[in-house]
Structure 1
Amino acid sequence: MLLAIDIGNTNIVFGVNEKGFWQKIWRIQTDPLKTADEYEVIFRSLFTSNKVCKNQIDKVILSSVVPSLNREFEDMIQHFLNLSAHLLRPEIFELLPLHVLNPYEIGSDLVANAMAAFTCYKRCCMIIDFGTALTFTTVSSDGTILGVAIAPGLRTAIQALAGNTAQLPDVQPVRPPSVLGTNTVHAIQSGIVIGYTGLVERIINKTEEELNQTLTVVATGGLASTFAHEFSRVDRVDENLTLEGLRLIGELIK
């Protein structure tokens, strides 16, 4: 069985896959201050409570955008599973059916997303990842990652308002009843949630204009299922797209 781990700035998502089927997927909060021992306690507890046999894991693929946790997870996996994790990095990019521009700058999670979308659709795609950052990754029909656009994620934008202003509260990123906010909560939700609808659609439209072709748009990330219905241009929602990309990459690694 394969264990795929995606370490993000807000959440760590990981799952166990056997013959293409996800037996179990977990999501925990990212804590850069936790040690390898502390993460091992969490993994051991989740494996035990879900009756997942750690001895059946024979490969681990790891994507991380939190460099301070790379060593902690590599040590944890070595001690917990007696395996060496395959950390997704530029050396592995060379094994993929993708052409990665600026391999030392692009996030490994975006490469995993591109791998999954390219494998599934074999056509020009845009992957919108609703995470701590809102990212737009465009991959061509021949597997070239053409470019990326990055904006603050919805929760990040709301937290920035709450943290940098004296009277604006932290609110839930849900659609308000009207664009005309009649109280502070609805006003923030209008500006962020409805405003981001325009941001997303503008990025999609401008990308299609530059490429002179229609994109297949796939949404992923923690907030994808919450917001995908807001966007008429989203063709598919797949919250586990990154893990699926890691699975596909793992199959190419000996």
Structure 2
Amino acid sequence: MQLIIDIGNTNIVFGINLNGVWKNIWRIRTDTKKTADEYEVIFRSLFASGKVCKNEISKVVLSSVVPSLNDDFKELIERFLNQKVLLIKPDIYHRLPIKILNPYQIGTDLVANAMAAFTKFEKPCMVIDFGTALTFITVSGSGEILGVAIAPGLGTAVRSLAGDTAQLPHVQLAQPPSVLGKNTVHAIQSGVIIGYAGLIDRMVERTEAELQQKLHVIATGGLSEVLNGGTSRITHFEANLTLDGLKIIGDLIG
């Protein structure tokens, strides 16, 4: 079994993969104030409730866009699982079958997304990751990362509205009943959900026009399902694409 960990700015997603199948996937809040000991308590509890035997873990792959947590997680894994951590970082990219633009300026999660998309679909792709940031990464059919675009994530937009205004509440991200909001909640949902659907469609349209070719558009990330059915350009939803990519990279690197 393999333990694959993706540390993001908002959430830490990690899963147990057995023979190519995700046996367990968990999502916890990222907290840079937590110590290795505190994270170990969480891991022990989740492993117990998920009936995961820690002695059966043969490999641990870690991707992180929160560098301050890297040492804590290395300590946690070495102590809890008696395993070394394969940390995904730019100095291993030359061993991958994809060409990476500016390797020190691209998040390892985006590299994992590109790796998974290239491996799974073998055609020109755009991966849209619905995380703290909304990221668009475009990959050629030969595996070259052609470029990235970044916008504030859906949750980030909603939190910004609630935090920076006196009378707008934090609302649940869900499809509104109409583009014409009849109350504050529906008005925010309309602006964010329908507005972001338009942003996504336009980004895909402009990218395809610049490349002069059609793209296979894949959505991933914790909030991707919110846009399911709301945009005409997303052709595939892959909730675990980042973890899939990290596992593929781990298998290639050894």
TM-score band, normalised by shorter chain: over 0.9
5+ residue gaps, structure 1, are: none
Aligned residue for 2:72? Answer: 72
CA distance in structure 2 between the partners assigned to 1:136 and 1:55 by the alignment: 38
- TM-superposed CA distance for 1:172, in Å, is 1.1
Aligned residue for 2:189? Answer: 189
Cα RMSD, aligned residues only = 0.9
CA distance in structure 2 between the partners assigned to 1:229 and 1:30 by the alignment: 29
Aligned residue for 1:51? Answer: 51
Question: For this pair of structures, how many residues does the alignment match?
Answer: 254
Letter in 1 for 2:154: L
Letter in 1 for 2:36: A
> Moved runs in structure 1, 4+ residues, more than 4 A?
none
Aligned residue for 2:149? Answer: 149
Aligned residue for 1:241? Answer: 241
Q: Does 1:100 align with 2:106?
A: no
CA distance in structure 2 between the partners assigned to 1:10 and 1:148 by the alignment: 20
Q: Percent identity?
A: 64
**Secondary structure of the equivalent of 1:202?**
helix
Tell me, yes or no, if the aligned pair for 2:175 and 2:226 is still in contact at 8 Å: no
Range with bigger deviation, 190-199 or 180-189: 180-189
CA distance in structure 2 between the partners assigned to 1:128 and 1:6 by the alignment: 16
Letter in 1 for 2:240: N
CA distance in structure 2 between the partners assigned to 1:21 and 1:174 by the alignment: 30
Aligned residue for 1:117? Answer: 117
CA distance in structure 2 between the partners assigned to 1:128 and 1:166 by the alignment: 32
TM-score (norm 1): 0.98
Tell me, yes or no, if the aligned pair for 2:173 and 2:226 is still in contact at 8 Å: no
TM-score (norm 2): 0.98
**Secondary structure of the equivalent of 2:95?**
coil
CA distance in structure 1 between the partners assigned to 2:176 and 2:18 by the alignment: 42
Q: Does 1:179 align with 2:182?
A: no
- TM-superposed CA distance for 1:182, in Å, is 2.1
Q: Does 1:24 align with 2:24?
A: yes
Aligned residue for 2:129? Answer: 129
Q: Does 1:38 align with 2:29?
A: no
